[in-house]
Structure 1
Amino acid sequence: MNWQRDRRYNEGMSGQNDRLANWHRIKLLIAALLLFVLLAWFGWRLVLGPVEARGARQVRVRVPDNCTGRQVAVLLKEAGIIRSASAFVVYSRLYNLEQQLKAGYYVFYTNQSLPEIAGQLVRGSNAQLAVTIPEGYTLAQIAALLQQQLGVAPGAFWQQVSRGEFSYPYLRGLPSGPRRLEGYLFPDTYLFSSDMPVREVIATMLQRFDQVNRELDLEKKAARRGLTLHQLITVASLVEREARLDSERPLIAGVIYNRLQKGMPLQVDATVLYALGRHKEKVYYKDLTVDSPYNTYRHKGLPPGPIAMPGRASLLAAAQPASTPYLYYVARPDGSHAFAADLTTHERNKRMYQQ
């Protein structure tokens, strides 16, 4: 009988030990699960947090039309403003934001959290982009710049340039066509919103030209020289493309007027490049034969119109040229020019500086 009692006692103790072991395993499992949840929570908070907790760098991002949530996430990750593209996708799906993300230009900061960035994308574009039109740019270069920075379609740009209606008196009488506004989109830095219609973009630059035109009283100064405003802008564009130093702009304008007065061909290399339609570091003799009314080696007088967008200094030089005996100039290696009043001196300058 004792062995039966001992057996029951041992079985009871064994069952109790098993229950204790099971309970210990359950506690370990619960602890591991809690630890996993805690780590996952901290990890989730980490990937949702800002890339830089201290300080803030400004980052501009363009979200194209018809982007998926995954594509937007990749753009943001590549721009360095979120920690994880996958986390952005999960977050946007979890909160049903994926179909609400809007295309456009955005300004983000590296101390923004992922939820803040997602909310900004849902609200829509907040960016005004600073777009700089450099002095001496042509219409073709401006078209490429606006496409790159504002997403302006080249076709829409050229349609407005050729046939857009702009109510500025200085544009009256200009022939329609792709070169109509050459010289009149004033080079400056502008703030454009990402959704601004291309017509308004162009009108803003024309308005700036109108302001400078009035400030410098260009039409009256052109009339004093027996020129139309269009001819004055053409001279200014030649100066813009030829001069590198502001101090030389009135001198180069003086050379142009002197050659026009004497009936000499202007022989401005920049007009040849414009006729060729591409930039080259050096103009060769074969280039001078290009058949174009803009080629001032083949045709005397001014070209039909401006060849670039002149800035204020070039406009002022064309309106108030230096009184000079010079008829020639040649570029030095440092970008300045050597001027000459006669062909012999000019040829000597060419041998000195062009070799």
Structure 2
Amino acid sequence: MSQEEYRNEGRRPAQSRSGHGGRRVAPSHPEGERRSAPRRRKKRLGGWGVLLYVIFVLGISALLAGVGWIWANDVLALNKPALTAVVEIDEGDTVGQVADKLEEQGLIEYKMVFKLFCSLTHTSGKAGEEGAKITPGTYELNTDMDYRALISSMGSSSANRMTTTVTIPEGMTEAQIFALLEEKGVSTVEQLEEAAANYDFKFSFLKGVVPLGDPKRLEGYLFPDTYEFYMGEEPVSVLNKMILRFDEIFTDEMRQEVQNDGRTIQDVVTVASMIEKETDGSDQAKIASVIYNRLDNPTSETAGYLNIDATILYATGGTEVDLNADTPYNTRTHKGLTPTAIASPGVDALKAAVYPDSTRYYFYALGDDGKHHFFATYREQQNFIASQERYQNG
């Protein structure tokens, strides 16, 4: 082979090992060997990266610690400006609603934290519910109180629960009493009416008086006196205090006398309420005798009618007497006693109804001297009226 041929021989393309002309095939590797991929170099954090990471962790920790400290200040009442506020908790308020009221008054800052605290301390349920730690009422609270103190200060025995003194005059009707109690912030008319109508008070003299469902069933039993009530007090508690006072005033001796006379306490209370509305003087026992004479021994002139205009006014309201009013409280058209009492009688009226004078009077009239005068017959009464100037102009 010449040198030229030798050079050309060296330039020939290599043939495939498979024998297929010109087609390239990846070279094989010995059995058991794999071609490894090139390794990537690990990136290493430099000194600045480590420093930034540490700063980030410390920052988050500091932030969480700061937030925790702020929350702790609220929970423990630390570093708070001095503030006193009045908070009214309503019947059925949830923990969330209580938290809203505390936040609105500036007593807490984080109601979410307060609700969490209540959950952890088992302060759940609605205000007024059995077992609930928070009781409806009006409370005077301040920012020196931590969460635990705030909760305990809204309890039933709290010294922070605000009170008010209410004097109920003799002769007030149940409706007037309820309006007065609402005015004083003790309860609302609606709540008191609902409790009066539907709560089964455990007093024997109320059994069977008027069926449940009628708020007038307590008329006459809300004893007129001076009371101290909690503001926002539960209506049942308010009513119970006044009925309990009646229970104390109406002694065992009085009850025995009522029984001996063959009457009921309801009868006597109703008569006493009429006496209370007719007079507040020393003639109450005489007026009681007139009422009982008409009830027990009616004459042809009275025929069992009491003819007491105060009973009509109780039903119709106002000051003008409608003699033809269609109501069972019209004692000019309905015989006997009214369905309920017509006012809250005081102790003197109650005693007059229990211990009436023994007379033969069936009529009475108010004279020009401001006193009641009593008569056995209608003619005697009319002759007296004709002689008094107060009746001359109708």
Taking structure 1 as the reference length, the TM-score comes to 0.63
CA distance in 1 between counterparts of 2:334 and 2:270 reads 15
Partner of residue 217, structure 2? 180
Structure 1 residue ranges, 4+ long, deviating more than 3 angstroms after superposition: 62-66, 103-106, 116-120, 122-127, 332-335
Q: Is 1:348 aligned with 2:383?
A: yes
Summarize deviations over 1:92-119 as a string: whole Å, max 9, x none: xxxx994229x8377xxxxxxxxx9998
Partner of residue 318, structure 2? 279
Residues 297, 126 of structure 1: alpha-carbon distance in 2 compared, 3 angstrom cutoff:
same
Ranked by relative contact order (alpha carbons within 8 Å, sequence separation 6 or more), the top structure is: 1
Q: Is 1:218 aligned with 2:258?
A: no
| Structure 1 range deviating more: 193-202 or 330-339 | 330-339
> Please, what is the CA RMSD of the aligned residues?
2.8
Query: What amino acid maps onto 2:166 in structure 1?
Result: V
Q: Is the 8 A contact 1:332 1:354 kept in 2?
A: no
Partner of residue 311, structure 1? 346
Q: Is the 8 A contact 1:253 1:317 kept in 2?
A: yes
Q: Is 1:252 aligned with 2:291?
A: no
* 1:1-355 pair list within 5 angstroms: 65=88, 98-100=105-107, 104=138, 125=160, 127-174=162-209, 175-176=211-212, 177-214=214-251, 217-245=253-281, 247-263=282-298, 264-276=304-316, 278-280=317-319, 282-283=320-321, 287-332=322-367, 335-351=370-386, 352=388, 353-355=390-392
Residues 138, 333 of structure 1: alpha-carbon distance in 2 compared, 3 angstrom cutoff:
farther
Partner of residue 7, structure 1? none
Query: What amino acid maps onto 1:197 in structure 2?
Result: E
CA distance in 1 between counterparts of 2:368 and 2:163 reads 40
Taking structure 2 as the reference length, the TM-score comes to 0.57
Residues 289, 64 of structure 1: alpha-carbon distance in 2 compared, 3 angstrom cutoff:
farther
Residues 334, 156 of structure 1: alpha-carbon distance in 2 compared, 3 angstrom cutoff:
farther
Q: Is the 8 A contact 1:244 1:335 kept in 2?
A: no
Q: Is the 8 A contact 2:223 2:245 kept in 1?
A: yes
CA distance in 1 between counterparts of 2:171 and 2:327 reads 20
Partner of residue 14, structure 1? none
Summarize deviations over 1:307-351 as a string: whole Å, max 9, x none: 111110000000000112211111235642121122122012223
Task: Give 5+ residue unaligned stretches, structure 2.
Answer: 1-84, 90-102, 109-136, 155-159, 299-303
CA distance in 1 between counterparts of 2:276 and 2:143 reads 46
CA distance in 1 between counterparts of 2:220 and 2:229 reads 20
CA distance in 2 between counterparts of 1:138 and 1:335 reads 24
Task: Give 5+ residue unaligned stretches, structure 1.
Answer: 1-61, 67-95, 107-115
CA distance in 2 between counterparts of 1:205 and 1:198 reads 11
Query: What amino acid maps onto 2:309 in structure 1?
Result: D
Residues 141, 97 of structure 1: alpha-carbon distance in 2 compared, 3 angstrom cutoff:
closer
CA distance in 2 between counterparts of 1:63 and 1:340 reads 59
CA distance in 2 between counterparts of 1:329 and 1:64 reads 54
